[in-house]
């Protein structure tokens, strides 16, 4: 239990006011009745409260707006087949959140505020958790600097918030991916491993450019040679060759340590697949494709879950895949869904009951 947590419920439910249909709800467009807010000032966390979802009043000199001290996480809660609700691996998100906070010179959020606050918030808005297949309650914890001062330095005040959003599938069809070799997402020594807002802002221009050319996202390559693949816009990436599954290594700190990535690796290993986490060049992938040794390519992420990729384009070379015949990505997706929705036993301790 969080000491001094204040809960203020709303007299008017947004679900009734907005007449929201939880079937086929779009991602990130509708939010639940309440939110959690905690303030960091004077070197300590205080004023922790759950209150009606509402707009924020921010000073024009807010430090986050000017200097980008802002991080976030993405978590999901699922309606089990028995009607109960469980969150998928939130403790891993909590740890990654504080890794991002440390890198961005921000205070760590205490576990009780993050985990117990998340649980109590979901409990209050539990009717918002969809029961439809492939639907979930998306959980967005975020932290930003709140000093009302312009000056290039770390803020002294911060605001931590959790909001909730019912959602359906993020990607509904296999994806076309463009291999990016001009723009750079991250470099060693940078903040590629942190889930900070600026990483996504810098990715928007090349992503939109690729979308205008008919692609869903870009597959980033390394900053020096643009030869080694890293991750896809909102996802980690996996390549299947027979009984071997390749995924880029996290060693250089340029790739997000995805929770779904971790889960996919565990599931694949338990099903007898050999996992190689290492540097993977685009030349190697093309050679594998030409030799008919590249069988599947798929992405993993909290929002995207498991997304099949039907095309990779590098320069003038196109790699096409028949996703209808895939086995590995389908196995990972089915296994994850069976655990998340309570169809099979959670033997890994991944579910956090609400």
Query: Given this model, what pLDDT does residue 134 score?
Result: 87
Higher-confidence residue of 4 and 29: namely 29
CB atoms under 10 Å from CB of 291, counted, come to 9
Q: Candidates 3.30.470.10, 3.40.640.10, 3.40.50.360, 3.40.50.12780; correct CATH number of 6-169?
A: 3.30.470.10
Report the share of the chain in percent with pLDDT over 90. 84
Neighbours of 259 (CB within 10 A): 25
Q: What is the mean pLDDT of residues 103-130?
A: 96
Residue 218 clears pLDDT 70, i.e. is over it = yes
Q: Tell me the two tokens of residue 188.
A: 């060693």
Report pLDDT digits (tens) over 130-159. Answer: 988 889 999 999 999 999 999 899 999 999
Neighbours of 274 (CB within 10 A): 12
Specify the CATH class of 175-340 in words.
alpha beta
Query: Sign of the CA dihedral 85, 89, 143, 130?
Result: negative
Predicted TM-score (pTM) of this structure: 0.94
CA angle 112, 30, 39 (to 5 degrees): 30
Count of CA atoms in the C-beta half-sphere (13 A) of 64: 20
Question: Can you read off the two tokens belonging to residue 241?
Answer: 């060759």
Spacing of C-alpha 278 from chain mean position: 22
How much is the pLDDT for 9? 77
Q: What interhelical angle do 90-103 and 259-270 show, nearest 10?
A: 130
The answer to whether domain 6-169 and domain 175-340 are alike in fold is no
The domain spans of the chain are: 6-169, 175-340
pLDDT of residue 28: 78
pLDDT tens profile 164-201: 999 987 777 899 999 999 999 999 999 999 999 999 99
CA 125/CA 34 separation, integer angstroms: 7
Token pair 């909590």 is found at 94
Which spans in the chain are helix H? 14-18, 63-67, 90-103, 111, 117-124, 197-212, 259-270, 282-290, 328-340
From CA 221, how far away is CA 229, in angstroms rounded?
Answer: 4
Q: Please state the rounded mean pLDDT for residues 255-272.
A: 97
Position 345 pLDDT exceeds 60: yes
Secondary structure class of 331 (helix, strand, coil)? helix
Distance CA 66, CA 69 (A): 9
Residue 325 three-state SS: helix
Q: How far apart are CA 49 and CA 9, in angstroms?
A: 11
Q: Of 258, 267, 266, 337, whose CA–CA distance to 299 is shortest?
A: 258
Name the strand (E) or helix (H) holding 255: none
Angle between helix axes 328-340 and 259-270 (nearest 10 degrees) is: 110
C-alpha distances in Å from residue 44, one per residue of 48, 100, 302, 346: 11, 19, 30, 37
Confidence tier at 267 by pLDDT (50, 70, 90): very high
Are 125 and 87 in contact by the 8 Å Cβ rule? The answer is no
- Taking the C-alpha atoms of residue 155 and residue 47, their distance in angstroms, rounded to an integer, is 18
Query: What spatial distance separates the first Cα and last Cα of the chain, rounded to whole Å?
Result: 13
């Amino acid at each position: 239990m969080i000491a001094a947590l204040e809960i203020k419920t709303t007299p008017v439910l947004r679900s009734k006011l907005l007449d929201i249909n939880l079937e086929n709800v779009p991602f990130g467009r509708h939010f639940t009745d309440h939110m959690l807010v905690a303030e960091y000032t004077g070197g300590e966390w205080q004023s922790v409260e759950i209150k009606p979802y509402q707009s924020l009043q921010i000073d024009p000199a807010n430090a986050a707006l000017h200097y980008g001290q802002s991080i976030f996480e993405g978590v999901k809660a699922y309606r089990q087949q028995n009607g109960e609700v469980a969150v998928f691996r939130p403790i891993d998100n909590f740890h990654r959140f504080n890794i991002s906070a440390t890198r961005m010179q921000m205070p760590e959020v205490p576990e009780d505020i993050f985990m117990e606050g998340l649980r109590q918030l979901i409990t209050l808005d539990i009717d918002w958790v969809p029961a439809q297949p492939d639907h979930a309650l998306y959980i967005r914890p975020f932290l930003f600097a709140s000093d009302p001062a312009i000056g290039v330095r770390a803020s002294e005040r911060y605001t931590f918030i959790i909001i909730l959003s019912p959602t359906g599938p993020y990607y509904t069809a296999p994806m076309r991916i463009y291999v990016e070799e001009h723009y750079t997402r991250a470099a060693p020594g940078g903040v590629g491993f942190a889930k900070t807002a600026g990483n996504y802002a810098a990715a928007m221009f090349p992503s939109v450019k690729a979308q205008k050319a008919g692609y869903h996202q870009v597959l980033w390559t390394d900053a020096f040679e643009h030869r080694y693949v890293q991750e896809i816009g909102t996802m980690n990436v996996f390549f299947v060759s027979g009984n071997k599954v390749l995924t880029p290594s996290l060693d250089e700190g340029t790739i997000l340590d995805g929770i779904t990535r971790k889960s996919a690796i565990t599931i694949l290993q338990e099903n007898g697949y050999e996992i190689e986490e290492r540097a993977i060049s685009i030349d190697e992938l093309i050679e594998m494709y030409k030799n008919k040794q590249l069988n599947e390519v798929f992405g993993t992420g909290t929002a995207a879950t498991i997304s099949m990729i039907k095309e990779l384009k590098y320069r003038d070379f196109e790699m096409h895949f028949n996703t209808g015949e895939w086995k590995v990505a389908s196995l990972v997706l089915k296994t994850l869904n069976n655990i998340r929705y309570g169809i099979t036993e959670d033997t890994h301790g991944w579910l956090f009951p609400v």
